[in-house]
Chain A
């Protein structure tokens, strides 16, 4: 009987929670900075979501939640990796927690969902992870309160195309996850690589979440000099293992997240020598990065990847803005203006912003090596930086006007001229 009663009561209890939640409006303090943080803390992306929150929280802890006199009140909400849920949670953060800033989101589609929300509510949205190219390219005009603290998908792969060309690779096969992030990453690589004289001779698109790459690996053309891979999540673990298992010896040059520190500890020695490109590597030999890696590892027991660094740096950038205003909230328009004019030193290196509110930053070509770093005694896999392209713009060397004339990188753009 009690169980029936409980079950009858539970909606009532929830209802009263609901009523309590709505009546407790937060009171606004002038010296309080309210930040709403959106990350997937449940579901398949929960681990990445945790890294995102941890990175941001680490910075807050290091400054005791004090941004130049403003007391930071951080509210984390679970966006579940679903764009529609992110919109709902954002409206909760804006409506009930009265946040002045929204930070985070994981998927590109979540970025596309949150950017218009920031326009509607006139709230600043800082995309620390979502990397959809057009948010700071062809569609930026719609989002006056949007700024990016992270990167665009094609930003690291464009220098990688140049690097591969300089390295002497002539023919490359691309294998990339079959969705917008994959298209934009491959597009950037292909454009620069081919403009430099290389040839992409085959593009393979395994679906997101592929576990068995057998059918795709067997079609890879033998005369390729290298394989470009862009893998997301668990795919990153499977692909190199299965490729080497199939006896394919060509070097792998990987896009951005294929060898993120998030996945690296779970990889085998077969990935040693694989190359990838991103704006961050945990193995960066700078005092700022060393301090960050050590602090993060001490607190959370793992080496931080870009998901953690990007959010740590987002917090750092917000702090820099607040330093300029003396701890007073400047209003959304002014905040965007100040942040876009920042030049900050982050764990990933110096970051400034272009006039499309996207970071201009170093892109590192990294090679996986088994070595010891920062005084840790055990040899581990690290993304050792082998070349730095300094102050890279999202438009690479093409210049904004010329770059924006072409359509956004897609499955069929640039067209595969050398595919048979």
Chain B
């Protein structure tokens, strides 16, 4: 039931209301609301029970293995959450006087510095609120850089054909034409096609490394040289940083500007789809264009850097400086990891992925890139099962959620048919991985002997398979009083 369907006229939670009159006479009548909004009229216990029960209809990291490729669903430490919720941080108004801001600003300043070290970049702005927001910022900085150099003919951004959808969308939102570059059968970028696409119209290239194919782009330095040789710049999509953190830095690979996904690499809770955090890091040539505000340290006091201090900034992109609570969580997480822990993240993330990958092959699954090592994630293709048993990647996904494991990312990248993108993360134990392998072995047997079981899955969840086409056809996105 919806909370609205539990509503009874004139019921309200008396614990949240005083007996005080709720009228005010000094606001002109024509500016006042005449009929109250149709919000639920329920008791506090009804609210508690309704949302507690709804929560139980969710898969989450706290309750399920969640190997969702490209999303880095690692454990979100409760201690970090509690520390970031200290009253001094939680009650602080973002525009508080500097005297009551030094604690938060110190955390932000130190986070800016440590992210610069992690990425091999010069300077960091913590403003962007999510990965795609960071992409927009990075591309806007590239645009500002070319404009400042009088390079107005640079109207094109290149992206690999397997890039995250946000890459072309961000470039397009920033006013650029988008040109896709194909990848080779081994998963690396096709350099001939890249050479042919580069020219005086090239503003830049957006790249993820490891790529969305779950493999390391081996020619990255050559790619950087090629793009730079025609005056273009390189944007690094930090979605896959978990595979290389503490071992290789995008700045050293030749990238000029990048974003980080704090909700992936730095374990901040995904909250059912957000909030995120997408700080942007830039090398010395692009740093002047970073969005404001940022934090600086002057004579022992932390101060805000605004458009007055940074005349070339692309400007503000948020009301306040970033998702402060997400920033604090990332900072505390990094402090807890320390020097050794940061390297250990990528080591075990990659170990877990390779362990799953090799053992899935042993069971009989097909890799999209069999000659390559896995990074923190890898792709299997279920084309063979689809041809043999008419069971597709979606059916396998629905089948595994029936067993309490969240499905990997399906049908992405778009360039690999019937694919699963699998990312176990470093916080999952060998037992959890072995359970996943056991299930996968069973499904393979099931596909051959009882394919219907896969096609009708899920059977064990609050609802059976949902009709997404109907939802888009008979649009109902707001409760109207009846269903």
- Do A and B pair up? The answer is no
